[in-house]
Amino acid sequence: MVPLVNVALVRAALESYKKITNRPIEVENFGLSTLVYEQKGYFFPSKPFSVFLSFVHHSLDDFQLYRFYEHLCRSFAIPLFISKCPRKPMDVYESLRFFINIGQTETPSAKVTLEHDDNEFWVLRDKVIKNVADDGPSNLFFFMFIKVAIDVLTKQKIRALRIKSPSPSITPVLSPMVSEPANDVISTESLAGICFSKPLLEEKVVLEEHKFASNLGHEQEIGLIDSVKMAMDSYIGTPNYNIETIADTLGVSIRQLQYKLEEHGTTFKELKDEVMLVNTKLMIQGTNQSLSNIATQLGFSSISQFSRSIKRLTGVSPKEYKKQLLGSQNKKHP
């Protein structure tokens, strides 16, 4: 099973940006095809969403960035995790344990641990993005999630005792979370961590019972074929759209991927054709773009190359295929 992120996260991030800046922003500007993801109900985490978060980090000042992540946590992440708790937690400690377990299910590549002694406790997160010197966006989201989660659960404004961050770029943004930023925000090389007073673990959860639901164990498992298709959806139209990138995204070798697809009675090329045709159909039916623009967005070097592929798969030209699709669509919606 490949870790996936609900498409609602993308929507919530866009809404958070708009709320903070009063400027709307289109996800398509970052190479994200919401048409496909809205149909699937999931968004596969890949380079495009990372590019959007990088844009956010470079376009907002420190105060705006703090508010962006706070809004994203309050409006999306915290309610989602609360709804996935197997039952209402008794206290902050049990809540954090539930959240860590849920996080391991949602994003198993991110190892998070809860450690404590007689005076304080740390929530620690391993650095998860390889070969990236400064994983600012995901570390900041982690810090904000823990801080806002405790605020929401206890209905208090809590300050952290200390923060360890391997991301120098977000150090100024962390200032509102501690009492003395110059001393309480500490640079590290690997682990990201946020520390609070030990008695806080015993604070009772005061949220209403109806906000908790027994959703764990009821997640729809995403199989190999859908995982490959979703990875393809993420990279289609980019220079990295190849079997090497897809295999790396799924955490397997090229040969392993080919072998697994053979076991399922298909090939990488067949799935690639299928994903291209689905994207073409969605773009024709959901946008007013020309066939030439659609071909470019799907990564074809020319309209003639696009035409040959469409004709090979459908038996008709792109122009005729578009006519058929829009004709059937109009019959359904007179």
Q: What is the DSSP letter of 215?
A: -
- Helix, strand or coil, per DSSP, at residue 37: helix
Write down the pLDDT at residue 36.
Answer: 46
Parse the chain into domains and list their residue ranges: 86-221, 224-332
Locate all alpha helices (DSSP H) within the chain, ordered by sequence.
7-21, 34-40, 47-59, 62-72, 78-83, 92-106, 136-154, 181-184, 224-235, 243-250, 254-263, 268-286, 291-297, 303-314, 318-332
Comparison of pLDDT for 51 and 37, the residue scoring more: 51
Q: How confident is the model at residue 320 (pLDDT cuts 50, 70, 90)?
A: very high
Q: What is the pLDDT of residues 117-160, one digit of tens each?
A: 999 999 998 865 444 445 677 888 899 999 999 999 999 899 99
Q: Is the pLDDT of residue 10 over 70?
A: yes
C-alpha separations of 49 from 210, 226, 233, 274 in Å: 32, 19, 13, 23
Is the full-model pTM beyond 0.75?
no
Q: What is the pLDDT of residues 229-278, one digit of tens each?
A: 877 877 788 887 899 988 877 777 899 889 989 999 999 999 999 999 98
Write down the pLDDT at residue 3.
Answer: 41
Please provide the average confidence, as pLDDT, over all residues in the chain. Answer: 81
Q: What is the CATH number of domain 224-332?
A: 1.10.10.60
Comparison of pLDDT for 118 and 286, the residue scoring more: 118
